[in-house]
Structure 1
Amino acid sequence: MSKFWEEFELGKRYQTYGRTVTEGDLSLFCSFVGYHVPLFIDEEYAKRTQYGGRIAPSAFTMSVSTAMTESLFRNTVISLMSVERGRFLAPVRAGDTIRTEVEVLEKKETRNPEKGIVTFRDHVLNQKDETVFQIDKIVMLKRQLHNES
């Protein structure tokens, strides 16, 4: 499903698979990156907060979303140039199923005819179709006309 720069159309949206977040996912992520924030690791503490229980760290949601979208340009990506306007709009919890909808916002040619730039907006939605996270990514991709065999 990997796409070249030419294959992305302005305004088009792509859907990823869904992924159910588990307690194990959250524990492993927090342990791996060294998050020791009680809101993420202590259920009793988290119950007394505005969230009423443990939530996923925002970096977890962003990481899972990034992994979900990689199939769009797995073999054509040159670089992730920028991430901008990240907005965490609602908490993600163990038991939630999240998916990412990728919207093509902008395309630019570069001086190098083998490369092009695409701006994507990732919308991460939960099982209720609520947007929980949104971010814009600027990605440099290979151009097809110079990479055909």
Structure 2
Amino acid sequence: MPRFMTLLALLLLTPAVPALAKDRSQHLAAVPLTITSGGRVARFRTEVAKTSLQQEKGLMFRTKLGPAESMIFPMKPPRFASFWMKNTLIPLDIVFIRPDGTIHRIANARALDLTPVESYEPVAAVLEIAGGRAAQLGLHEGDRVASPALAK
């Protein structure tokens, strides 16, 4: 019996098994976020990854991200950022946001790709949206992002 209990405890406590790992992202605060591009406004419900643990996990193990859903990673103070797609099962558009709230760069990231995606300059935040969504919305460098998550 003790052997069975040890095995059961290991299975329940091992986060490397996505089916058994508790999805801690459900408790992230969500805020509105808008991107203004060419007179059009795209609206998102944005989860805020504030802590280093939340930022490390990000959207790992998610199997879907709706067209109006996103996750933002505030960077206070602004800094160079580098992201990869380890354990990220869906493609993402990674939007690097300058301290003035404008988009610096939009990168397309493939699911499970370990190639670093770099900001190339200090950024105030990084926004992740569903892969291909930036092109669908016609987002470009220089477009303006607004959200309580970017407040100073």
TM-score by length of 2: 0.29
Q: Which has the higher contact order (CA 8 A, sep 6+)?
A: 1
TM-score by length of 1: 0.29
